[in-house]
Amino acid sequence: MSRKIKTALIDLSGTLHIEDLAIPGAQAALEKLRKHVAVKFVTNTTKESKNLLHQRLRDCGFAIEKDEIFTSLSAARDLITKQQYRPFFILDDKAMEDFEGIPTEDPNAVVLGLAPEKFTEEYMNRAFRLIKEKNAALIAIHKAKYYQKKDGLHVGPGFYAAGLEAVANVEAKVVGKPNKLFFQMALESLGNVDFSSAVMIGDDVDDDVIGAISAGMHGILVKTGKFRSGDERKVQNVAESFVEAVDMIIENKV
């Protein structure tokens, strides 16, 4: 019987690990999965550069190469250079490494990511004024409503993007998941843009799973990370964790 799934896009934070801790059994499950499908790691994370992300995964015991990681920051940089934006960045300092060389004088765009230290009245008002008075574009690396930290849930950049959209009469351009172009770029890098034989595994029911399904892929929701009870009612394929998700794929149960 031919395998339905040929490629897997795998979310990182909340799916393979939570901060510095790997999801139990995930390292071995990944090795098992690699024997059957091609994989790419896709992340909306905006708090760290690709180098830092890669290092963290290695430290967790995952055998992953840096070029197997496709981040929304890379997608953002592509958009910024293509449109010749001069951004006012609301990004974590640890992510700024990925934007070296981008001009920032006289900004005509606001680039908003997950940067809690910069979710301040000063930054938000500056962003608001640039959009309202200088017609700056609003680019959201992603619009996560919230995300999971060890001490509980925190509002994500989607919260602030929604606020700015409502009062500055602007629509945010979303660069990362669930933007279809983002999924497409990830699959292109694997040499297979057949959405119907691809699956996305993630903990964010909206941005990972429903996003993937809307793009024409399969999706598996894992009950780790930011998963909240009730999310499982919105989608068909649900797994306890990445370990069970891998079994679902190998056993053609997707």
Positions touching other proteins (CB under 8 A) are 116, 119-121, 124-125, 128-129, 132-133, 145-146, 152-156, 158-160, 162-167
Give the residue with the Cβ less far from other proteins, 77 or 225.
225
What b/e string do you get for 71-109 counting C-beta neighbours within 10 Å, with b at 16 or more? bbbebbbebbeeeebebbbbbbeebeebbeebeeeebeb
Give the residue with the Cβ less far from other proteins, 77 or 177.
177
Rounded to 5 degrees, φ, ψ at 54 are: -60, -45
Give the residue with the Cβ less far from other proteins, 84 or 229.
229
Give the residue with the Cβ less far from other proteins, 22 or 155.
155
Least distance (Å) from other proteins to the CB of residue 133? 8
Least distance (Å) from other proteins to the CB of residue 144? 9
Least distance (Å) from other proteins to the CB of residue 156? 8
Least distance (Å) from other proteins to the CB of residue 215? 22
Nearest to 5 by CA among 217, 253, 251, 198: 198
Backbone CA torsion sign across 86, 100, 177, 120: negative
Give the residue with the Cβ less far from other proteins, 154 or 223.
154
Question: Do you know the residue count of the chain?
Answer: 254
Least distance (Å) from other proteins to the CB of residue 110? 13
Rounded to 5 degrees, φ, ψ at 110 are: -110, 125
Q: State whether residue 103 is helix, strand or coil.
A: coil
